[in-house]
Amino acid sequence: MIINFIEAIIQYEFLQKALLTSMMVGIICGVIGCFIILRGMALMGDAISHAVLPGVALSYMLGINFFIGAVFTGLLTALGIGYISQNSRIKNDVSIGIMFTAAFASGIILITLMKSSTDLYHILFGNVLAVRPSEMWSTLIIGIIVLLCVYIFYKELLVSSFDPIMASAYGLPIRMIHYFLMALLTLVTVASLQTVGIILVVAMLITPASTAYLLTDRLWVMIYLSAGIGVLSSIFGLYFSYTYNLASGATIVLAATALFILAFIFSPKQGLLWNTIKSFRKKEAFSQK
C-alpha cells in the first residue's frame, strides 16, 4: 500500500502539490508552535486561527489577496482580547473566548452572505488534495517569510519568551513582539487553510511542538525537531488520507497526535515509561536495604 502511495505521488501532480504544501505547513506550524506553547498561548493560537475566517471572507468579497484580510481580522481580534483583559476584571482566557467566537460567528455569516463558490467546509476543514498551484506558491512564500523572521529575531523571541521582565528592562518592545508573533500566526493559519483548515490548525501548532518539548532541553533543537515532526505528521496523514479516502486535515492531526503519544510514553527524560521504571528501581533499592 505504501508502494501504491509512492507510485501515485510520482504519477499524479495533484498529489505532489498536496505533499509539498502539507510538508511546508508542517514546518512553519512546527516552528511558530514552539513559541506559542512556550509563551503559554495555546488558547490564543486557537483563537487567532478562528479569527482569520471573517478576514478570508471579506478578502473574497473585495477581491483582494486573502492574506491581507486574514492578518487584519486576526490582529484586530488579538488587540481586542488584550484591550478587554487589560481594561476590565475579565480574565485573559475568558476575553479570548468572547472575542474569537464573535469573530468566527461573523465569518460564518459573511461566508453565507457571499453565496459564492467558496466552500465553507473546505475553509474550516481543509482539502489538501485539491490544492491549486497558486495556493502552493503562496504557502511557500509565507513559509519563507515566517522562517526568516524567526531566524532574524531568534534572540529577541527567546529572551521575551523566557524572561519578559528582563527583556523589557533592557528596552525590548515586548508588547510589539507579542503582536508581531500574532501577525505571523495569522499568516501561518492562512497558509494552512488548504491543508488542515481553520478548526484543526491549532493542533499543528501545538502538538508537534509539544512532542519536541518532551524530547529536548534546548530551544533551537526543539524548533528543528518540531518542524521535522510536523513534516512527518503531514506525510503519514496524507498517506492515510489518500489511501483510505479520509479528510486530510483529520488524518494529519491524528498522525501528529500519535507521534505525541509515542514521545509521552517513551521520551528518554520526560517519558512515562522511564519515569515509572526509575521510580520502581528507587523503591527496589530502598526495600533491599
Partner 1 sequence: MKAAISVNDLSVSYNGNDALRNVSFTVEEGKLIGIIGPNGAGKSTLLKVLLNLIKKDRGSIEILGKSIRQMRKSVAYVPQRSNIDWDFPITVMDTVLIGTYPNLGILKRPQKEHRAWAFECLEKVGMSEYRNRQIGELSGGQQQRVFLARALAQKPTMYFLDEPFVGVDVTSEEKIISILKELRDNGKTVIVVHHDLSKASDYFNELILLNKELIAYGLVENVFKPEVLNRAYTNQFSSILGGE
Site membership for partner 1, residue 246 (CB under 8 A): no
Site membership for partner 1, residue 171 (CB under 8 A): yes
The least distance separating partner 1 from the CB of residue 149, rounded to whole angstroms, comes to 12
Question: Quick check: helix, strand or coil at residue 214?
Answer: coil
DSSP letters spanning 242-270: HHHT--HHHHHHHHHHHHHHHHHHH-TTT
Site membership for partner 1, residue 284 (CB under 8 A): no
Site membership for partner 1, residue 165 (CB under 8 A): yes
Site membership for partner 1, residue 258 (CB under 8 A): no
The distance from CA 211 to its chain's CA centroid, rounded to whole angstroms, is 13
What are the CA-CA distances from residue 151 to residues 210, 220, 288 (Å)?
20, 10, 53
The Cα 36–Cα 34 span in angstroms is 5
The answer to whether 198 and 25 are in contact (CB under 8 A) is no
> Which residue number, 170 or 244, has a Cβ lying nearer to partner 1?
170
Out of 11, 218, 286, 288, name the contact with partner 1 by CB under 8 A: 218
Site membership for partner 1, residue 216 (CB under 8 A): yes
> Which residue number, 160 or 189, has a Cβ lying nearer to partner 1?
160
Q: What is the 3-state secondary structure (H, E, C) of 181-205?
A: HHHHHHHHHHHHCCCCHHHHHHHHH
Q: Which residues within the stretch 33-72 sit at the binding site for partner 1 (CB under 8 A)?
A: 38
Using CB under 8 A as the binding criterion, the count of chain residues that bind partner 1 stands at 23
Site membership for partner 1, residue 161 (CB under 8 A): yes
Name the site residues for partner 1 (rule: CB under 8 A): 38, 152-153, 155-156, 158-159, 161-163, 165-166, 168-171, 213, 216-219, 221-222
